[in-house]
Structure 1
Amino acid sequence: MEEWNETYEQWLEWMDQGAYLNLREDLNEENPANVAEFLEELPVEKKLFVFRLLSRDMAADAFSFLDNDTQEMLVTSISDNEVRNIVDNMFLDDTVDFLEEAPPELVGKVLRNTHPETRKLINQFLHYPENSAGSLMTVEFVHLNEAMTAGRAMELIRKIGLDKETIYTCYVLDRKNRLIGVVPLRTLLLADEKTRVGELMEEDVIRVTTLDDQEEAAAVFRKYSLMALPVVDGEERLVGIITIDDIVDVIDEETTEDMEKMAALLPSDDEYLKTPVTKLAKNRIVWLCVLMISGTLSSMIIGGYQSILDEAVQLATFIPVLTGTGGNAGSQASAMIIRGMALDEVRPRDSLRVLGKEIQVGLICGMLLGTLNMVKQTIFSPATNVMVDLTVSISMGAVVVVAKAMGCLLPIGAKVCKLDPAIMAGPLITTVVDAVALLIFFNIASSLVL
């Protein structure tokens, strides 16, 4: 990081001094991701100038790392010929990623300046459902036929490999372009040159279809530790591959979305500092209203048991402790289950096993918390009615058990109903558990205190 800061300062110094030849030479030898970061930090009036210092290859590579705002600004400002150079040198999936977020006029400008075959592929990709495997894939992959020898395959890879996004895994197709096997580059390198690809390939190929959800593709990558994943159509024809860099982006997006839902926010793809205040408020107010309205249920329950509170005023002081403990216990369980479902470790069919496990955890935690509360009250609040202390301790144990059970069942229920389990976390489950905790508390109190 320190070395990068020194490089960044050096580039700024060269810009101030007008040493543009030095800047150009250094930029074109740098990692494209670092060049993109440097461009994003520059004032708007300097971005275009510095971008035009880049070589054709570096401009295309760095462009794919830029944020959407900078990409749109550059495409709007540069000439048609420069747009053509960028598109021709970018991998197809990076071009599609940009166009999916770009306004219509920029999409038109890019498509006008692409080769007809590339334009056809881009349009095909743009018509795949959003967040599907088809929308993620690239067509820059190496494909072989089974009759080819290992030596001939290596010659082909040397010839076309530079334009492919990955060459580490090669795909074997039949005459109808159906995927029949895969062969790692390492296998080809170590094999006898006269050995046929059909003898070297692995026929059991892990694949997804174009319409599979991107989360399913991410789960496959995670389960099998893949670097690339073939994508086939309904007739098992290979139409593209998904590479690990795209899946990392998907995992990042899905994690962010789940975090936002768990915090009772509407998901947003925008960066925080670039999001207008009005949009931030809009993303939050919906769930705040839902939680406020659902929170009135707790007020209604308290009002319905007002007579109990009138008889034992001390009970009211323990309501925040009980509801807080219940909410925390429920949130712990829901967080674990949501994570388990995200990693495909927990499935709806496991609901009874999960429920049994969480009830056992709840019993242990509930008994310990109830006992600790009784000891605390005895030592620090000896003036409190003993039956009130007993009521709170028993209620706390029961609330923890019920909260753990609800915390595991609600996310599983959401999954069964085709909803995102993440919505059953944090604020929402706390609100539900609060109401249940109050019902348990007042019913136990009516038996022990009154």
Structure 2
Amino acid sequence: MKLIENPNKSDWSALLKRPTQTIGDIEATVNAVFNDVAKNGDKAIEKYTTKFDGVSLHSNVVTQEEINKAVALVDENLKSAIQLAKSNIEKFHSAQKTDRVFVETMSGVSCWQEKRPIQKVGLYIPGGTAPLFSTVLMLAVPAQIAGCKEIVLCSPPNKEGNIANEILYAAQLCGVTKIIKVGGIQAIAGLTFGTASIPQVYKIFGPGNQFVTVAKQLATQHGVAIDMPAGPSELLVMADDSANAAYVASDLLSQAEHGADSQVILVTTSNDFAKQVSEEVENQLEQLPRIEMATVSISNSKLIVVKDFETALELIDTYGPEHFIVATENDDFFIENISNAGSVFIGNYTPESAGDYASGTNHTLPTNGFSKAYSGVNLDSFQKSMTFQKISKEGIQNIGDAIELMAEAEGLQAHKNAVTLRLNDLKTN
């Protein structure tokens, strides 16, 4: 990892740049796939599955028989672990339910707000180098709690034309209504336009590589909502001499192994601690099965030494990490003042991997600095807030004059007339 000591603020932008391609580099590919799927449906889906995943499928819809076989093959201990994680995720997301908000803004004028589920949602579950069955829990559990009627899951098939057994087990455990063997850009396009085998949905969720991220952004141009722009994973750790260097190194590597375009950063007030962590990273890296991928990621990552906590906080908020671990002698300073982070992990015994799997919080989080404006996935992500209002005869008389005056001032006579007719009727009755 590259060590940078007390960088000038003018250099922060370049220093904190993510190792990602620009949208322009991949936008043409995404557009071409989208246009093909919009025009040719499942025929295009089949073509791109063969091209990108290296397998030709007779059908891309997972059958109940396939699900049953997969469930039987999952290790019983792993099933128990998945069930424990599901239980914690259910508890945390169920606690996010809110009551109806009702207020009488003035006599005779009642306004209220209620949450309603998004009826059709699409869940994208990466397969690739690591089939992320944990993401099924993170997306399908709140979708089920919210009451979504159609929960469509897309995940790329392996070379044998199958989806990982663990993904299928988690999907059936969490109430997914349809599972499709399709990945990448073509999966997002299929969910956007709908095909003979892939239902069109109203909102798409889930992480993915940069091609998937751009595809999701393109989906919004076709009237489909998305959870957030979520690309390659990232972690920033704020630690000082009070932290455990081995723990910090293990956390950095846990994110680095996600992919070659992942980024991890250590911010610290101690030069000696930075060097200890660097040594630990090198030692632990040698023991990892995914050493090649993690090594590339580590080469894009940095150890940044700053003079004090205030400078550290400003730098961290400038970066806006997806995951933020704080392990210092004064964690409360960061907990109380951090503004931009997807999810925060506090203290020496809170590894980021706890949030990735089983603590209960959601691991589908904004990356690439989007934590400055976006929240991670939560129960509200699967719901819409609808407002209602009811005005009585007394109410329209109380509020009517104000509406008429405002409508006339804006030159919208028909708006005014909709009130005037009602007020005149009340005067004559």
- Please indicate the TM-score interval, normalised by the length of the shorter structure: under 0.3
- TM-score (ref. length: structure 1): 0.27
- TM-score (ref. length: structure 2): 0.28
The structure richer in strand per residue is 2
